[in-house]
Structure 1
Amino acid sequence: MLTQLDDGFEITAEPGRGRVRLRAVERPWNDEVLDFLCEIEDAGISATGAIRTLGGDSLPAWTAELAESYVGWDGVRSWRSLEHDLRIDATHDRRGHVSLRFAVRGPRGYEADAWEASACVQLDAGEDTKRFAAEVATFLA
């Protein structure tokens, strides 16, 4: 389920399971650098990562490709932010569902010993995935 927030949006799985919030987008230096927060929650974990991108690191295009591939794909499709502080892995079960695993790393995600926490949410292929792509595009615009 997708829910708009005052400063972003939230994706939730079934009650009591994964929750992901993308919020507080900003351009700290009025250039291509675009920062936002990714907050994840799941059974027993809660983590927040400060995510740095260059103009969104093509996340809107990646999510649009997922939405266009509603019939499905094999394997994992992944997106990674500039400093590797956020990775999103997408899988399709070929039964109409897309699973998104959000993995937040910190404080310097590009370092091998950075901590990592992840949560998984599921969307229906088709309209839910299209709405997710639209939310990402609006959020990073």
Structure 2
Amino acid sequence: MTSPDGDLDDKARVTIRCQDNSSVGMTFCDRFSFDQDSVHYTVEARAPGLTARVTEVVAWIWDNDLTTFLEELAADYRGWEGERTWHTMDRDLAVSAVCRSGGYIGLTWTIRPWRSAAGDWNTSVTTWLEAGEQMSSFAADIRHFLAWERAAHPSVDDLPPGR
């Protein structure tokens, strides 16, 4: 299940929860931009005993974006063979998708801090959604989140400390 938690402002967030276990999920939040070429955001992975967060994941306008990947999965709701994958240019966010009988899509989300970050860790969680309406709804929520209008972006001077 997915939920767009907020309006088009700096408090907007999208959460995807696993249909099999609602305590497993991913949240996309804290978006901002330095220019019209990109949107930066934070991803948080949750599962029993796990909370992990990676900040400043970047969606570039010229990149094969997450939205396109998710929309293609939604369009193939009847299923496919094997695994499909996508990742950001910096590989701080990656997702692989598989189909399960009965019309479900498993999305395994892997997050890791930038290569220069101390600790060199990564973690993954898997969320399961219905291949039809739930997948389409999630893709639309992510499109809305990443297509944040430039006019709504805070300037760099307005960012919270530490950004």
Q: Give the TM-score normalised by structure 1.
A: 0.89
Cα distance between partner residues in 2 of 1:15 and 1:78? 23
Q: How does 1:1-141 map to 2 (within 5 A)?
A: 1-6=1-6, 7-13=12-18, 14-15=20-21, 17-27=23-33, 29-50=34-55, 51-55=57-61, 57-108=64-115, 114-141=120-147
Cα distance between partner residues in 1 of 2:85 and 2:3? 23
Cα distance between partner residues in 1 of 2:70 and 2:85? 10
1:60 partner letter? T
Q: Does the 8 Å CA contact 1:107/1:115 hold for their aligned counterparts?
A: no
Q: Which sits farther off after the overlay, 60-69 or 31-40?
A: 31-40
Instruction: Note the C-alpha offset of 1:78.
Output: 0.8
What runs of 5+ residues in structure 2 fail to find an aligned partner? 7-11, 148-163
CA-to-partner distance for each residue in 1:61-84, whole Å, 9 max, x for gaps?
111100000000111111101111
2:135 partner letter? T
Q: Percent identity?
A: 25
Instruction: Note the C-alpha offset of 1:107.
Output: 3.5
- Give 4+ residue runs of structure 1 displaced > 4 Å after superposition: none
Q: Give the TM-score normalised by structure 2.
A: 0.77
Structure 2 residue matching 1:91: 3-state secondary structure? strand
Which structure has the larger Rg over C-alpha atoms? 2
Instruction: Note the C-alpha offset of 1:5.
Output: 1.2
2:110 partner letter? A
Cα distance between partner residues in 2 of 1:127 and 1:26? 29
Q: Does the 8 Å CA contact 2:26/2:44 hold for their aligned counterparts?
A: yes
Cα distance between partner residues in 2 of 1:4 and 1:62? 18
CA-to-partner distance for each residue in 1:88-133, whole Å, 9 max, x for gaps?
1111113210011111001428x9x831011111100111011011
What runs of 5+ residues in structure 1 fail to find an aligned partner? none
Cα distance between partner residues in 1 of 2:129 and 2:99? 10
